Amino acid sequence: MALWNRLIWLTGESLSMSGGSVRDTNKGVLVRVRVRPRSKESGLILDLDENELTVNLRSPAREGKANTELLRLLAKLLKVSAGKLKLVRGRKSREKTILVEGLTAERVVGLLREVTNDK
């Protein structure tokens, strides 16, 4: 069974950003995002009014292209290698959960706020 088909239960503590969209676990940091495939341009949107983290992707949601672009974009924004990111939930959904290894939730929140200019 493929990793993304398994429901991985990780316990941790949510941070206040995005209503718990980023949380520490014993395996790393879980980041919940909503993706918009086939957007005009790629980018990250932090909407605190709706408590969600949205990622616009240029790639279509076919053959894993949007998932690949998502992981590459997040790796670049979080300044980690793509190998430190794993899609653990939502392979065929617009709502996805990414596991980030090697960072703390506080660091992830800080980096996401830097790129969205949300201090």
CB atoms within 10 A of CB 58: 16
Residue 75: predicted pLDDT: 95
Residue with tokens 């969205």: 116
Return the top range by mean pLDDT from 6-15, 18-27, 30-39, 44-53: 30-39
Between CA 8 and CA 29, with CA 99 as vertex, the angle to 5 degrees is: 105
pLDDT in tens, 29-53: 999 999 999 988 887 776 644 556 8
CA dihedral for 25, 108, 110, 16, sign (positive or negative): negative
Domain extent, residue 14, equals 3-116
**Would you say 106 and 15 are in contact if contact means Cβ atoms under 8 Å apart?**
yes
The total domain count for the chain is 1
Contacts of 90 (CB under 8 A, 6+ apart): 96, 97
Tell me, what CATH number does 42's domain have?
3.30.1200.10
* pLDDT at 8 > cutoff 50: no
State residue 66's pLDDT score: 94
In percent, how much of the chain has pLDDT > 90? 52
pLDDT > 70? residue 118? no
Q: Which one is predicted more confidently, 45 or 59?
A: 59
Q: Does pLDDT of 101 surpass 60?
A: yes
